[in-house]
Chains A and B, each alone.
Chain A
Amino acid sequence: DTEVTQTPKHLVMGMTNKKSLKCEQHMGHRAMYWYKQKAKKPPELMFVYSYEKLSINESVPSRFSPECPNSSLLNLHLHALQPEDSALYLCASSRTSSLEKRYNEQFFGPGTRLTVL
């Protein structure tokens, strides 16, 4: 199983709502990533979890709150978002978060299309 799943596929929320995005993988990977992607732009890294601990936060506003309850699951909690936060949110996973001598590919999920009204 080389699949990363994400739910929901689409999400529309108001600026006062609280919602969560979910990502799951069963490849035994110990690194998981959240990316934000605007239309026709490359993904921008937001967070990296390594062995269920937050290892990288790319200066993301606190209205985005990541959580890694276990090695297979990654959540992104959303609160008081702005319309400019509307984007495709991608999750990815890899064996580890370190550059290894052997290949350490990141596998991407299909994404959640978020619209903030």
Chain B
Amino acid sequence: AQTVTQSQPEMSVQEAETVTLSCTYDTSENNYYLFWYKQPPSRQMILVIRQEAYKQQNATENRFSVNFQKAAKSFSLKISDSQLGDTAMYFCAFVGGATNKLIFGTGTLLAVQP
């Protein structure tokens, strides 16, 4: 069975600083995807960034980048130049095997302080 672990329930960062959210996962699948979803207080869940397991290059989307360590089964999210609008719950998620069923981590509540 696949599992996703986020060990940081809450984090805080100053505006304009950089923060890294941790995520580890466990799977025996070779073909899978990893995601970071953001859920602001207004509750709409949106996709921040995705990583295909077969790609060695780390994904980047503007201020968001990941550090994907396949052997270590680690998938951390780095947010550069943090903005107040980045305040949200961040969920790490995994999809693998035959179905498109998302396995979520427990989430990290990020607060960006002015």
Binding site for B on A (CB under 8 A): 31, 40-43, 45, 48, 56, 88, 90, 92, 94, 96-100, 103-111
A88-B43 in contact given A40-B89, A96-B100, A97-B100 (Cβ < 8 Å): yes
Query: Which residues from A are CB-within-8-Å of B43?
Result: 88, 110-111
Q: List 29 A-B contacts (CB under 8 A).
A: A40-B89, A41-B106, A41-B107, A42-B105, A42-B107, A43-B102, A45-B101, A88-B43, A90-B45, A92-B45, A96-B100, A97-B100, A98-B98, A98-B100, A99-B31, A99-B32, A99-B33, A99-B95, A99-B97, A99-B98, A99-B99, A105-B47, A105-B50, A106-B102, A107-B47, A108-B46, A109-B44, A110-B42, A110-B44
B91, closest chain A residue (CB):
A42
From A31, A43, A90, A109, contact of B100 by CB (8 A): A31
Binding site for A on B (CB under 8 A): 31-33, 35, 37, 42-47, 50, 52, 89, 91, 95-102, 104-107, 109
**When chains A and B are docked, how far (Å) is the Cα of A43 from the Cα of B100?**
15
How far in angstroms is the closest Cβ of chain B from A41? Answer: 7
Main secondary structure on chain A at its contact with chain B?
loop
B97, closest chain A residue (CB):
A99
